Each structure stands twice: as C-alpha cells, then as structure tokens.
Amino acid sequence: MMDAVQGRITRIELLPDLSYCVETRAKQEYATIMSRILSGDQSPGIEERLDLLKTFLETADFSQLRRESEEHMIKGKKVKFLLSGFAGHSEWSVQMTVED
C-alpha cells in the first residue's frame, strides 16, 4: 500500500505551438517552478511538479513527440500534452490531444 504522498498523481498541461515545441514548454515550466521554489513558494505539490518535469525532460523521446504534434499544428490545430505521474516514482505518461 502506498502512503498518501507517493499515491498522489501529478498532472501538468503543456501547450506547444509552432514557435515552442513540447520540450521547450516543459523547460519553461521547469524554470518557472524552480524560480517559485527558490522564492519560497511552498504550495502543495510544487516539488512533485518539479520532479515530474525533471524526469520527463531527462527521459522523453522529444523527436517523436515533436513529429506527432507538429503535423497537427501545421494544419492549424491546437495540440495539448497532459503529463502525468505519481509523486515519488520515476515513471510518467503523456497524452496528446488535438483540437480544431
């Protein structure tokens, strides 16, 4: 049985466009969260968000994610990635959705 901290799922929405790919958006979000932490922000879940982004940035196949998303963005569609993972675990998943 997992304890409450390790059982909590963290979700982060990343919105790439033709100027900023999903990797760049993840790096921007990581920098924003790191800045908040260094400024003293102790919001619930903030460290879990940072850990999830760090793992994602270190292990994702960004070439594949870019290929999959850019084909839709070139057609004028909006792409959204939902990054999910459990606090305390190095596993993550990402789901891409496409909207007109």
Cα–Cα distance measured from residue 86 to residue 49, given in angstroms and rounded to the nearest whole number: 10
Per-residue pLDDT, 90:
83
% the chain with pLDDT above 70: 93
Place of tokens 């998943």: 93
For residue 35, with 0-12 CB atoms within 10 Å meaning exposed, 13-18 middle and 19 or more buried, which class applies? exposed
**Whole-prediction pTM:** 0.89
Residue 7 predicted with pLDDT over 70: no
d(CA 79, CA 50): 22
As a residue count, the chain comes to 100
Q: Where are the domains of the chain?
A: 9-99
Query: Which DSSP symbol is given to 92?
Result: E
The identity of residue 23, as a single letter, is E
pLDDT at 35: 97
CB 79 within 8 A of CB 16: yes
pLDDT at 25 over 50: yes
| Sign of the Cα pseudo-torsion (55, 64, 66, 71, in order) | negative
